Chains A and B, each alone.
Chain A
Amino acid sequence: MNVIEKVPIGSTLLQAQSPWRRVLAEFFSSPTAVTGLVVLLLIVLVAALAPWIVVQTPYDLMQLNVMDARMPPGSLNGDSGYTYWLGTDGQGRDLVSAIIYGLRISLWVGIGSALIAAVIGTLLGLVSAYVGGWLDALLMRLVDLLLSFPVILMALMILAWLGKGVGNVMLTLIMLEWAYYARTARGQALTESRREYVDAARGQGVGPLRIVVGHILPNCLPPLIVIGALQIARAITLEATLSFLGLGVPVTEPSLGLLIANGFQYMLSNEYWISLFPGLALLITIVAINLVGDRLRDVLNPRLQR
């Protein structure tokens, strides 16, 4: 009696599934993370399309009416007939418009500085790991130095020296953030360079640059991506903090942090909305980024994989 069933050959063959695609599939299996991602994408979309969405360009002083200053949410604009759904700030800016434009600056500064810092930091980390010796020692002590100071203190010092402005805030953030990437990239590269596949590639006569960029770097990416996601959130918060302290962006082009700071003085006179809504916008953005970042950390961490 033949009990062995014939299995068609090749039926178990999977569709070629890249490790990245597997990570994506795992990422999307978490509703929380997907919610975070959707919210984040919405925020980015709104910020990117700001000029076509808002009723008023908050940076154009000609469009502001000081007579409309500090109006509560839901008030009507007397001139053009639109409603200040979230009220106005001390200069008479429509808060919805101001928040959307503020988001634009916050995201630009946060994502821009995090990405540039990621590129610089990763590069320096790989060089440090590959070259080794005194260069490695020098770079890593510099990293230690940067990471041993409170970030806000360092940022204040650098900004006091550079001066205000969006560009300078970004520069400051990059100067502070590259260290995280550099340290992680170096550690990861050192671990990966001990792997047998690196020996195998060397044994095939593959050159050192090709090994670092083609073999080691792709294997270093997962932790760097996680750091990147969390650093964007950090950069946005830091920019908000610096603006709140008056060292960030100029008063005429308020980011979220500056909006919060501006509204702060009216809190005691019950005009809560000027600080509250920009604060909520900041909060939602940061939470959304962190949800995405946390899930990325879970799915990219090799120790948590089965």
Chain B
Amino acid sequence: MSVSEMSPAPDAAQQPTLDVRDLCTSFHTRAGVLPAVRNVSLRVQPGRILGLVGESGSGKSVTGFSILGLVDEPGRISGGQVLFKGRDLTRLSASQLRDIQGNRVAMIFQDPMMTLNPVLRVDTQMIEAVRAHSPLSKREAREHASRTLALMGIASPEERLRAYPHQLSGGMRQRVAIAIALLHAPDLIIADEPTTALDVTIQAQILSEVQKLVREQGTSLIWITHDLSVIAGLADDVAVMYAGRIVEQGSVADVLDRPQHPYTQGLIDSLPSRNQRGQRLRQIPGMAPDLLSMPVGCAFAARCPRASQVCAQEPQPHEARPGQMVRCFHPGAADAQ
């Protein structure tokens, strides 16, 4: 499979912030080798927002962790490249990688309750994050932290700086976590379901603030989520993952309005919507396959309404519509079937 096939390249002249090629990450457990991420290729242009969608265990978080070099034993990046502005992050030494982590590439984690150290005050943690990558004095670092908190829409940042994480609300904590990610104005932010643990109104506020900041600063953003409605409102492009592979990729308008892959179709169908009031939600039958005993051929075939003989072979990604990649033998809108 060639790389360019999988990634849409809307603007070939511009160097992408992130160019992931054929990334494979597997976990070597006692029960066997779990291929959590298989041949994932992604491309994010400066100032664009990519939504990475999938259900639990589809490998979307592991993809995010792999990009930032945070995969722990027994996990291992077993192949592929992570080109960040042309530099392959998988080949950097630990200290070279640390120079980039939090500085040029930052990560926002899922649970705001867990990402802040409970025994350290917010200022301690933010000053440390500032000074990990810049020679500022403690006072300057503190001022910078305070300005960044204000940028995230936090009122009286000085007061929040003196607080301990448990004194802040969930939304406030996630704002602090996002502010920490923004401290060094990174080129790329990987956000791993950062608003899942928050209630909907807070989620909407944070989404709009993040969107604004990303647009203003030209930051690239990968937003990992299982929530298609978040993607619809936030992202420019979307990649749908299933069982460790990207099954469909393209612009949000294309993928959500004219899904080509039956899995994407299934995801959209399982959302409640206005025009099917009173009807039962259509869920995708069956369960995601066990990564330890992956079926030969298309991983989705067992649950797929369009499956046929040919699906026993591995489908290769191809362009079903211009700029819309799909990994399926039977692409097309559901109505066409």
Contact = CB atoms under 8 A, between A and B. Distances in A.
A16 interface: yes
Contacts of A13: 159
Nearest to B110: A196
Interface string A200-241: 111111110010001100110000000000000000000000
A199 B70 contact: yes
Contact of B68 (A197, A203, A207): A203
Contacts of B109: 196, 199-200, 203
A10 interface: yes
A128 to B, nearest CB: 16
A19 B99 contact: no
B117 A202 contact: no
Nearest to A203: B107
A14 interface: yes
A18 interface: yes
Given A14-B167, A199-B70, A207 B120 contact: no
Interface in A13-46: 13-14, 16-20
B321 interface: no
A286 B177 CA distance: 46
Contacts of B106: 203-204
B164 A202 contact: no
A196 B100 contact: no
B128 interface: yes
B128 A210 contact: yes
A141 interface: no
Given A18-B121, A202-B70, A203-B106, A196 B111 contact: yes
Interface in A139-180: none
Given A200-B177, A215-B117, A205 B167 contact: no
A18 B164 contact: yes
Contacts of B103: 205
Most buried by A among B119, B156, B167, B180: B119
Contacts of A19: 118-119, 164, 166
A219 B118 CA distance: 8
Given A196-B109, A197-B115, A218-B119, A204 B166 contact: no
B101 A202 contact: yes
Interface in B88-127: 98-103, 106-107, 109-111, 114-121
A70 B162 CA distance: 63
A202 B102 CA distance: 8
B159 A205 contact: no
Given A16-B162, A199-B109, A204 B129 contact: yes
B310 interface: no
Given A195-B114, A219-B118, A206 B132 contact: yes
A206 B102 contact: yes
B133 interface: yes
Given A14-B167, A16-B163, A205 B98 contact: yes
Interface residues of B, number: 34
A19 B119 CA distance: 6
B335 to A, nearest CB: 43
B117 A219 contact: yes
Interface residues of A, number: 25
Contact of A219 (B114, B119, B128): B119
Nearest to B94: A208
Given A16-B164, A17-B167, A197-B116, A206 B129 contact: yes
Contacts of B159: 13
A298 to B, nearest CB: 19
A10 B163 CA distance: 14
Contacts of A200: 107, 109, 115-116, 177, 180
B177 to A, nearest CB: 7
Contacts of B118: 19, 197, 219
Interface string B33-75: 0000000000000000000000000000000000010100000
A201 B99 CA distance: 13
Given A195-B114, A199-B70, A219-B117, A206 B164 contact: no
A199 B109 CA distance: 9
A205 B102 contact: yes
Contacts of A197: 114-118
Contacts of B177: 200
Nearest to B122: A16
A68 to B, nearest CB: 56
Contacts of A202: 70, 101
Contacts of A196: 109-111, 114-115
Given A16-B163, A210-B128, A203 B116 contact: no
Contacts of A204: 101-102, 106, 128-129, 132, 180
Nearest to B162: A16
A195 B115 CA distance: 8
B101 A16 contact: no
A206 B128 CA distance: 8
A218 B114 contact: no
A17 B164 CA distance: 7
Contacts of A201: 117, 128
Nearest to A218: B119
B307 to A, nearest CB: 38
A126 to B, nearest CB: 16
* Closest 3 A/B residue pairs (Cβ): A204-B102, A196-B114, A205-B102
14 contacts: A10-B156, A17-B164, A20-B119, A199-B70, A200-B116, A202-B101, A203-B101, A203-B106, A204-B102, A207-B132, A214-B120, A214-B128, A218-B117, A218-B119
Interface of B: 68, 70, 98-103, 106-107, 109-111, 114-121, 128-129, 132-133, 156, 159, 162-164, 166-167, 177, 180
Given A18-B121, A205-B99, 8 more contacts: A19-B119, A195-B114, A200-B109, A202-B101, A204-B180, A205-B133, A206-B128, A218-B120
